[in-house]
């Protein structure tokens, strides 16, 4: 079997990536999701090895020294990284989606120029702010940090192969599925 295609999805915190990606993943059996490692604390409902690999800062830094990441980045005072071994193994049996920040996406692109980069954005800045505050689990100082980072992330969207607006989760997922079909299936 030929190696699968690699798709990278990015977007600012609060844009609705998790909701959209669940719909995308539920729609195609040949898609696999990469589980990233992080030093941040789990959110309610997140599971070890499913949502993330939750590791200590010391463990993460040891993995960096071992060159165990396809990419990694630090933001919101935490590390996030994509384990290389997992990506290589999963691409042998299907297509793969990575949910990573722009810095990580561009680092993966350097190592995997064949990766397809898709940026998800909110319909407006006001809607992004509303979604971030609507979570109810994020302190105001963290919201301010995320909004500051979102400004920079939005400036990076021109470097992506596709930009998709998440005005409604199902419609956004369908647009992403159409892109995946074009790239992976030639349709």
pLDDT tens per residue, range 21-61: 999 999 999 999 889 999 999 999 999 999 899 999 999 99
| Nearest C-alpha neighbor of 8 from the set 153, 119, 167, 159 | 119
Residues 32 and 28: their CA atoms lie apart, in Å, by 9
The whole-number pLDDT of residue 102 equals: 92
Torsion sign across C-alpha atoms 48, 103, 97, 150: positive
Whole-model pTM: value is 0.86
Structure token digits, residue 168: 């409604």
For the chain, give the percent of residues with pLDDT over 90: 75
pLDDT value at 169 more than 90: yes
**Which phi and psi angles does 10 have, rounded to 5°?**
-135, 165
Q: Are 120 and 146 in contact (CB under 8 A)?
A: no
CB atoms within 10 A of CB 96: 23
**CB-based contacts of 147, cutoff 8 Å, min separation 6:** 128, 129, 132
Report all structural domains of the chain as residue ranges with CATH numbers, in order of start: 6-185 (3.40.50.300)
């Amino acid at each position: 079997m030929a190696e699968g295609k690699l798709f990278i999805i990015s977007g600012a915190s609060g844009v609705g990536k998790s909701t959209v990606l669940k719909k995308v993943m539920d729609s195609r059996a040949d898609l696999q999701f990469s589980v990233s490692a992080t030093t941040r604390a789990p959110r309610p409902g997140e599971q070890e090895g499913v949502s993330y690999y939750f590791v200590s800062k010391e463990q993460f830094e040891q993995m960096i020294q071992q060159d165990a990441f396809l990419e990694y980045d630090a933001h919101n005072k935490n590390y996030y990284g994509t384990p290389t071994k997992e990506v290589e193994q999963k691409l042998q049996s299907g297509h793969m989606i990575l949910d990573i920040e722009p810095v990580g996406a561009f680092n993966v692109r350097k190592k995997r120029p064949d990766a397809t980069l898709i940026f998800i954005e909110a319909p407006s800045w006001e809607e992004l702010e509303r979604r971030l505050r609507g979570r109810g689990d994020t302190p105001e100082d963290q919201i301010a940090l995320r909004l500051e980072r979102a400004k920079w992330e939005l400036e990076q969207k021109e470097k992506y192969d596709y930009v998709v607006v998440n005005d409604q989760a199902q419609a956004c997922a369908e647009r992403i599925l159409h892109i995946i079909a074009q790239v992976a299936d030639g349709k």
